[in-house]
Amino acid sequence: MSERPRIDPTPHGAICDLVTPFHGDQLDEPAFAELAEWQINSGISGLLVAGPAGEPWALADDERARLIRLAVAVAGNRVPVFAGTGTSCTETTVARTAEAKNMGATAAYVVMPYYSKPAQEGLFRHYQAITDRVDLPLIVGLAPQRTAADLLPRTLERLASLRSVVGIADETGDIARLVAMPSALRQRFALYSGHDLTAMPFTLMGGRGVISAAANLVPRLTVALHQALATGNQQSAQSLQERLSPLFQALEREPSPPAIKYGLSLLRGISDDVRLPLTPIVAETTAAIRMALAPVLCKPAPARRQFL
Protein backbone atom coordinates (compact mmCIF):
# COMPACT_ATOMS: atom_id res chain seq x y z
CA MET A 1 0.00 0.00 0.00
CA SER A 2 1.10 3.62 -0.42
CA GLU A 3 2.61 5.24 2.64
CA ARG A 4 0.41 7.49 4.78
CA PRO A 5 1.34 11.15 5.14
CA ARG A 6 3.90 11.47 7.92
CA ILE A 7 2.35 11.72 11.38
CA ASP A 8 4.38 12.54 14.50
CA PRO A 9 5.41 9.15 15.97
CA THR A 10 6.00 10.70 19.41
CA PRO A 11 2.83 12.59 20.33
CA HIS A 12 2.29 14.25 23.67
CA GLY A 13 -0.56 13.12 25.91
CA ALA A 14 -2.39 9.81 26.12
CA ILE A 15 -2.02 6.88 23.71
CA CYS A 16 -4.59 4.11 24.17
CA ASP A 17 -3.26 0.56 24.49
CA LEU A 18 -6.27 -1.01 22.79
CA VAL A 19 -7.72 -4.30 23.95
CA THR A 20 -8.54 -6.90 21.31
CA PRO A 21 -12.26 -7.75 21.42
CA PHE A 22 -13.19 -11.38 20.84
CA HIS A 23 -16.57 -12.96 20.25
CA GLY A 24 -16.07 -16.53 21.30
CA ASP A 25 -12.92 -17.66 19.50
CA GLN A 26 -13.18 -15.05 16.73
CA LEU A 27 -11.93 -11.48 16.47
CA ASP A 28 -14.75 -8.97 16.89
CA GLU A 29 -13.56 -6.54 14.24
CA PRO A 30 -16.64 -4.28 14.33
CA ALA A 31 -16.20 -3.84 18.09
CA PHE A 32 -12.49 -3.09 17.61
CA ALA A 33 -13.23 -0.49 14.93
CA GLU A 34 -15.91 1.11 17.10
CA LEU A 35 -13.56 1.22 20.08
CA ALA A 36 -10.79 2.81 18.01
CA GLU A 37 -13.16 5.41 16.54
CA TRP A 38 -14.54 6.29 19.97
CA GLN A 39 -11.02 6.72 21.33
CA ILE A 40 -10.13 9.13 18.52
CA ASN A 41 -13.36 11.08 18.96
CA SER A 42 -12.55 11.35 22.67
CA GLY A 43 -9.29 13.15 21.90
CA ILE A 44 -6.78 10.35 22.40
CA SER A 45 -3.32 11.11 20.94
CA GLY A 46 -2.64 7.70 19.39
CA LEU A 47 -3.64 4.04 19.16
CA LEU A 48 -1.47 1.06 20.12
CA VAL A 49 -2.53 -2.20 18.46
CA ALA A 50 -1.38 -5.59 19.80
CA GLY A 51 0.30 -3.91 22.76
CA PRO A 52 0.33 -5.29 26.32
CA ALA A 53 -3.46 -4.88 26.72
CA GLY A 54 -4.15 -6.38 23.29
CA GLU A 55 -3.25 -10.00 24.14
CA PRO A 56 -0.58 -10.14 21.42
CA TRP A 57 0.62 -13.55 22.60
CA ALA A 58 -2.81 -14.97 21.72
CA LEU A 59 -3.07 -13.52 18.21
CA ALA A 60 -2.33 -15.44 15.03
CA ASP A 61 -0.23 -13.58 12.48
CA ASP A 62 -3.20 -12.96 10.20
CA GLU A 63 -5.26 -11.64 13.12
CA ARG A 64 -2.54 -9.19 14.09
CA ALA A 65 -2.34 -8.00 10.49
CA ARG A 66 -6.11 -7.55 10.26
CA LEU A 67 -6.13 -5.45 13.42
CA ILE A 68 -3.29 -3.21 12.24
CA ARG A 69 -4.94 -2.66 8.86
CA LEU A 70 -8.25 -1.90 10.54
CA ALA A 71 -6.71 0.57 12.99
CA VAL A 72 -4.87 2.34 10.16
CA ALA A 73 -8.09 2.56 8.16
CA VAL A 74 -10.08 3.92 11.10
CA ALA A 75 -7.39 6.40 12.14
CA GLY A 76 -6.77 7.78 8.68
CA ASN A 77 -4.49 10.78 9.16
CA ARG A 78 -6.03 11.80 12.48
CA VAL A 79 -3.76 10.05 14.99
CA PRO A 80 -0.68 7.81 14.83
CA VAL A 81 -1.08 4.04 14.93
CA PHE A 82 1.54 2.06 16.83
CA ALA A 83 1.84 -1.64 15.98
CA GLY A 84 3.04 -4.09 18.61
CA THR A 85 5.64 -6.18 16.80
CA GLY A 86 8.03 -7.34 19.51
CA THR A 87 8.71 -11.03 20.11
CA SER A 88 11.47 -13.10 21.68
CA CYS A 89 12.87 -13.84 18.20
CA THR A 90 14.78 -11.11 16.38
CA GLU A 91 13.99 -12.41 12.88
CA THR A 92 10.28 -12.64 13.65
CA THR A 93 10.31 -9.14 15.12
CA VAL A 94 12.03 -7.77 12.01
CA ALA A 95 9.46 -9.46 9.77
CA ARG A 96 6.51 -8.21 11.82
CA THR A 97 7.92 -4.68 11.90
CA ALA A 98 8.38 -4.67 8.13
CA GLU A 99 4.82 -5.92 7.72
CA ALA A 100 3.53 -3.18 10.03
CA LYS A 101 5.31 -0.55 7.95
CA ASN A 102 3.82 -1.94 4.75
CA MET A 103 0.34 -1.77 6.31
CA GLY A 104 0.74 1.91 7.15
CA ALA A 105 1.61 1.87 10.85
CA THR A 106 3.18 5.11 12.09
CA ALA A 107 5.63 3.34 14.39
CA ALA A 108 6.32 -0.02 15.99
CA TYR A 109 6.04 -0.75 19.70
CA VAL A 110 8.78 -3.32 20.32
CA VAL A 111 8.75 -4.95 23.73
CA MET A 112 11.98 -6.35 25.13
CA PRO A 113 12.77 -9.93 24.06
CA TYR A 114 11.17 -12.18 26.65
CA TYR A 115 11.97 -15.60 28.11
CA SER A 116 15.52 -15.82 26.70
CA LYS A 117 16.94 -13.28 29.20
CA PRO A 118 19.56 -11.89 26.76
CA ALA A 119 22.66 -10.00 27.83
CA GLN A 120 22.86 -6.24 27.27
CA GLU A 121 24.84 -6.80 24.06
CA GLY A 122 22.11 -9.06 22.75
CA LEU A 123 19.44 -6.51 23.60
CA PHE A 124 21.30 -3.80 21.72
CA ARG A 125 21.87 -6.01 18.68
CA HIS A 126 18.19 -6.99 18.69
CA TYR A 127 17.08 -3.39 18.24
CA GLN A 128 19.99 -2.62 15.94
CA ALA A 129 18.92 -5.45 13.62
CA ILE A 130 15.39 -4.04 13.43
CA THR A 131 16.54 -0.50 12.68
CA ASP A 132 19.09 -1.70 10.12
CA ARG A 133 16.46 -3.58 8.15
CA VAL A 134 13.22 -1.62 8.59
CA ASP A 135 12.88 2.14 8.23
CA LEU A 136 10.15 2.70 10.79
CA PRO A 137 10.23 4.62 14.10
CA LEU A 138 10.44 2.36 17.16
CA ILE A 139 9.12 2.75 20.68
CA VAL A 140 11.00 0.39 23.03
CA GLY A 141 8.70 -1.24 25.58
CA LEU A 142 10.38 -1.74 28.95
CA ALA A 143 8.49 -4.26 31.08
CA PRO A 144 11.05 -6.22 33.11
CA GLN A 145 8.27 -7.56 35.30
CA ARG A 146 6.89 -9.28 32.18
CA THR A 147 10.02 -10.06 30.17
CA ALA A 148 12.80 -10.67 32.74
CA ALA A 149 14.93 -8.30 30.63
CA ASP A 150 15.80 -4.66 31.22
CA LEU A 151 18.05 -2.01 29.69
CA LEU A 152 20.96 -0.63 31.67
CA PRO A 153 21.90 3.05 31.24
CA ARG A 154 24.92 2.25 29.07
CA THR A 155 22.70 0.26 26.70
CA LEU A 156 20.20 3.11 26.52
CA GLU A 157 23.11 5.34 25.54
CA ARG A 158 23.96 2.96 22.71
CA LEU A 159 20.32 2.83 21.59
CA ALA A 160 20.43 6.62 21.33
CA SER A 161 22.78 6.15 18.36
CA LEU A 162 20.02 4.32 16.46
CA ARG A 163 18.06 7.03 14.67
CA SER A 164 14.86 5.01 14.38
CA VAL A 165 14.57 4.43 18.13
CA VAL A 166 12.47 7.47 19.00
CA GLY A 167 10.88 6.58 22.31
CA ILE A 168 10.89 4.51 25.48
CA ALA A 169 7.78 3.26 27.29
CA ASP A 170 8.39 2.22 30.90
CA GLU A 171 5.73 -0.05 32.40
CA THR A 172 7.38 -0.47 35.79
CA GLY A 173 5.73 2.47 37.55
CA ASP A 174 9.08 3.27 39.19
CA ILE A 175 9.53 7.03 38.87
CA ALA A 176 13.08 6.75 40.25
CA ARG A 177 14.12 5.17 36.95
CA LEU A 178 13.13 8.32 35.09
CA VAL A 179 14.78 10.59 37.65
CA ALA A 180 18.03 8.63 37.39
CA MET A 181 18.14 8.76 33.59
CA PRO A 182 20.85 11.11 32.31
CA SER A 183 19.42 14.39 31.05
CA ALA A 184 20.88 13.84 27.58
CA LEU A 185 18.84 10.64 27.21
CA ARG A 186 15.72 12.29 28.59
CA GLN A 187 16.04 14.86 25.84
CA ARG A 188 16.94 12.31 23.15
CA PHE A 189 13.96 9.97 23.65
CA ALA A 190 10.24 10.56 23.93
CA LEU A 191 9.53 9.00 27.32
CA TYR A 192 6.16 7.43 28.07
CA SER A 193 4.74 5.88 31.19
CA GLY A 194 3.14 2.50 30.65
CA HIS A 195 1.62 2.52 34.15
CA ASP A 196 -1.61 4.45 34.62
CA LEU A 197 -1.40 4.89 38.38
CA THR A 198 1.97 6.68 38.25
CA ALA A 199 1.64 8.37 34.84
CA MET A 200 0.91 11.77 36.38
CA PRO A 201 4.15 12.04 38.41
CA PHE A 202 6.04 10.48 35.49
CA THR A 203 4.78 13.23 33.20
CA LEU A 204 5.51 15.93 35.77
CA MET A 205 9.10 14.67 35.92
CA GLY A 206 9.56 15.14 32.18
CA GLY A 207 7.65 12.31 30.52
CA ARG A 208 5.81 12.96 27.27
CA GLY A 209 2.66 11.14 28.31
CA VAL A 210 1.19 7.71 28.90
CA ILE A 211 0.49 4.56 26.92
CA SER A 212 -2.69 3.82 28.80
CA ALA A 213 -4.67 0.64 29.23
CA ALA A 214 -7.27 2.41 31.38
CA ALA A 215 -8.00 4.78 28.49
CA ASN A 216 -10.00 1.95 26.92
CA LEU A 217 -12.59 2.72 29.60
CA VAL A 218 -12.14 6.42 30.34
CA PRO A 219 -10.55 8.11 27.33
CA ARG A 220 -11.98 11.56 27.92
CA LEU A 221 -10.87 11.66 31.53
CA THR A 222 -7.43 10.33 30.60
CA VAL A 223 -7.10 12.97 27.90
CA ALA A 224 -8.31 15.69 30.28
CA LEU A 225 -5.73 14.67 32.88
CA HIS A 226 -2.86 14.96 30.43
CA GLN A 227 -4.19 18.18 28.92
CA ALA A 228 -4.24 19.66 32.42
CA LEU A 229 -0.64 18.59 32.92
CA ALA A 230 0.37 20.07 29.56
CA THR A 231 -1.15 23.44 30.44
CA GLY A 232 0.30 23.50 33.95
CA ASN A 233 -3.07 23.18 35.67
CA GLN A 234 -1.87 20.89 38.43
CA GLN A 235 -4.96 21.46 40.58
CA SER A 236 -7.22 20.11 37.84
CA ALA A 237 -4.77 17.29 37.10
CA GLN A 238 -4.66 16.29 40.76
CA SER A 239 -8.45 16.30 40.96
CA LEU A 240 -8.68 14.03 37.91
CA GLN A 241 -5.95 11.76 39.28
CA GLU A 242 -7.88 11.34 42.53
CA ARG A 243 -11.04 10.61 40.58
CA LEU A 244 -9.32 7.97 38.44
CA SER A 245 -7.12 6.32 41.07
CA PRO A 246 -9.78 3.86 42.32
CA LEU A 247 -10.16 2.58 38.75
CA PHE A 248 -6.40 2.36 38.23
CA GLN A 249 -6.08 0.40 41.45
CA ALA A 250 -8.98 -1.91 40.60
CA LEU A 251 -7.45 -2.71 37.21
CA GLU A 252 -4.18 -3.70 38.87
CA ARG A 253 -5.81 -6.44 40.93
CA GLU A 254 -5.47 -8.87 37.99
CA PRO A 255 -3.86 -8.90 34.51
CA SER A 256 -5.17 -5.89 32.62
CA PRO A 257 -6.89 -7.37 29.53
CA PRO A 258 -9.58 -9.34 31.41
CA ALA A 259 -10.18 -6.50 33.86
CA ILE A 260 -10.49 -3.88 31.13
CA LYS A 261 -12.71 -6.12 29.03
CA TYR A 262 -15.02 -6.61 31.99
CA GLY A 263 -15.29 -2.84 32.30
CA LEU A 264 -16.01 -2.53 28.57
CA SER A 265 -18.74 -5.14 28.88
CA LEU A 266 -20.45 -2.83 31.37
CA LEU A 267 -19.85 0.38 29.50
CA ARG A 268 -19.96 -0.52 25.81
CA GLY A 269 -21.52 -3.95 25.59
CA ILE A 270 -18.26 -5.43 24.29
CA SER A 271 -17.70 -9.09 25.19
CA ASP A 272 -15.29 -9.76 28.03
CA ASP A 273 -14.01 -12.93 26.33
CA VAL A 274 -10.26 -13.53 26.66
CA ARG A 275 -8.03 -16.28 25.33
CA LEU A 276 -6.14 -18.76 27.44
CA PRO A 277 -3.94 -18.62 29.40
CA LEU A 278 -5.91 -15.58 30.59
CA THR A 279 -9.18 -16.23 32.38
CA PRO A 280 -12.11 -14.05 33.46
CA ILE A 281 -11.58 -11.96 36.57
CA VAL A 282 -12.78 -13.12 39.98
CA ALA A 283 -15.83 -11.78 41.80
CA GLU A 284 -13.84 -9.51 44.11
CA THR A 285 -12.28 -7.75 41.12
CA THR A 286 -15.60 -7.36 39.31
CA ALA A 287 -16.99 -5.67 42.42
CA ALA A 288 -14.00 -3.32 42.63
CA ILE A 289 -14.30 -2.36 38.96
CA ARG A 290 -18.05 -1.80 39.24
CA MET A 291 -17.50 0.46 42.23
CA ALA A 292 -14.69 2.36 40.51
CA LEU A 293 -16.72 2.91 37.34
CA ALA A 294 -19.91 3.98 39.11
CA PRO A 295 -18.98 7.70 39.18
CA VAL A 296 -18.33 7.83 35.43
CA LEU A 297 -21.33 5.82 34.29
CA CYS A 298 -24.42 7.66 33.16
CA LYS A 299 -27.83 6.22 33.90
CA PRO A 300 -28.23 2.68 32.54
CA ALA A 301 -29.22 2.43 28.90
CA PRO A 302 -29.85 -0.57 26.68
CA ALA A 303 -27.04 -1.84 24.47
CA ARG A 304 -24.10 0.60 24.46
CA ARG A 305 -23.65 2.91 27.44
CA GLN A 306 -22.09 6.34 27.27
CA PHE A 307 -19.64 7.66 29.81
CA LEU A 308 -17.06 10.37 30.29
The fold for domain 13-242 equals: TIM Barrel (3.20.20)
Per-residue pLDDT of the chain (308 residues; tens, 9 = 90+): 445 567 999 999 999 999 999 999 999 999 999 999 999 999 999 999 999 999 999 999 999 999 999 999 999 999 999 999 999 999 999 999 999 999 999 999 999 999 899 999 999 999 999 999 999 999 999 988 888 788 999 999 999 999 999 999 999 999 999 999 999 999 999 999 999 999 999 999 999 999 999 999 999 999 999 999 999 999 999 999 999 999 999 999 998 899 999 999 999 999 999 999 999 999 999 999 999 999 766 544 334 444 34
In whole angstroms, give the CA distance from residue 205 to residue 295. Answer: 29
Q: Which residues, including other chains, have CB under 8 Å from residue 192's CB and lie 6 or more apart? A: 15, 139, 167, 168, 169, 170, 207, 208, 209, 210, 211
In whole angstroms, give the CA distance from residue 254 to residue 285. Answer: 8
pTM: 0.94
Instruction: Find the Cα–Cα–Cα–Cα dihedral 7, 44, 224, 208, rounded to 10°.
Output: -50
Nearest Cα to 36, choosing from 194, 216, 195, 224? Answer: 216
Domain boundaries, the chain: 13-242
Residue 68 φ then ψ, to 5°: -65, -45
